Structure 1
């Protein structure tokens, strides 16, 4: 059975646009997903990248075209400049890690609910009530929003270090064995790889 290490960021628009396609591919191939939320902004500075607002204007302009274009292609609601972005993505990541440790719900749905809250619903994922709503939607105890904060912070930091060591420089980022796939538009390639065709 294959394992997909999935490095994702709670603030990433591209993780939102990935939807639940990764989960569908994993189910198709009987693969497991090891979710690894990490600090994408910190990863940028460690791997030669820059946060969106610090990029050259040509990159900023391209992003402004590409994100809505991809959202339309996927039929997903999307706000290029959501009301609560940037915000602190760490509390939602800590709650995700607490849910991961507790079990009993759907982690794929939780990751999607968090990112959708930012990019489609224009809600602030740094707020406790938003995090609780995401946990509830995904079948987890909403009380997990307030538990395991220290462990969540430690795991979040470890995930960043591990990501940098393994060559992760963006999100979503998928690793299977020694094969790395960057971007929601590479899920089809991941599918072919798991099928032994790529």
Structure 2
């Protein structure tokens, strides 16, 4: 069975736009997934990336066109300038880590719900009540938002170190146990083709 390590930040619009396609691709190819939320700001700083406020105007202008264009292509609601972004991603990330450890729910639905809350529903995903609602909607115990904070913090930090060591430099980023790496929601078709032996 193939395995995918999925590195992401809950704040990324591109992670939101990925929706649950990764889970569909994994299911279609008999692959498993490990979810590895991390601090994208720290990842950028260590791998040559540039935070959005510091990017050249041309890059910002392209982003302002590309994100709504991709959302329209995918039929997903999208707000380029959400009311609550950026916010502290740690609480939602710790909840994702706790949910993966606990099991019993739908991880893809959880990641998608957090992204939708930020980028389409004008909700603050750093707030406990929003995180609890996302956990519940994905079939997890909402109390996971209050559990395993120390373990979550340790795993969150370890995910960053692992990502840097494995060549991750953006989000979403997918690494298959074959060693093939795929960056961006617009490379999910390539990931699918690779897993099915076509690429």
- CA deviations over 1:60-109 (Å, ceiling 9, x no partner): 11000000000000000000000000100110000111111111101111
Q: CA deviation at 1:26?
A: 0.3
- Which whole-Å CA distance do the structure 2 matches of 1:169 and 1:158 have between them? 15
Instruction: Please name the residue that 2:13 is paired with.
Output: 13
Structure 1 residue runs without a partner (length 5+): none
Q: CA deviation at 1:19?
A: 0.4
1:17-56 equivalences in 2 (<5 Å): 17-56=17-56
Structure 2 residue runs without a partner (length 5+): none
1:97-116 equivalences in 2 (<5 Å): 97-116=97-116
Q: CA deviation at 1:53?
A: 1.2
Instruction: Please name the residue that 1:171 is paired with.
Output: 171
- Which whole-Å CA distance do the structure 2 matches of 1:26 and 1:128 have between them? 30
- Which whole-Å CA distance do the structure 1 matches of 2:42 and 2:68 have between them? 25
Instruction: Please name the residue that 1:2 is paired with.
Output: 2
Instruction: Please name the residue that 1:66 is paired with.
Output: 66
- CA deviations over 1:26-48 (Å, ceiling 9, x no partner): 00000001111111111000000
Instruction: Please name the residue that 1:147 is paired with.
Output: 147
2:4 counterpart SS class: strand
**Moved >2 Å (runs of 4+):** none
Instruction: Please name the residue that 1:184 is paired with.
Output: 185
- Which whole-Å CA distance do the structure 2 matches of 1:121 and 1:51 have between them? 24
Instruction: Please name the residue that 1:196 is paired with.
Output: 197
Q: TM-score scaled by structure 2?
A: 0.98
- Which whole-Å CA distance do the structure 2 matches of 1:42 and 1:120 have between them? 25
Instruction: Please name the residue that 1:133 is paired with.
Output: 133
Q: CA deviation at 1:117?
A: 0.8
Q: CA deviation at 1:154?
A: 0.3
Q: TM-score scaled by structure 1?
A: 0.99
Instruction: Please name the residue that 1:117 is paired with.
Output: 117
- How many residue pairs match? The answer is 198
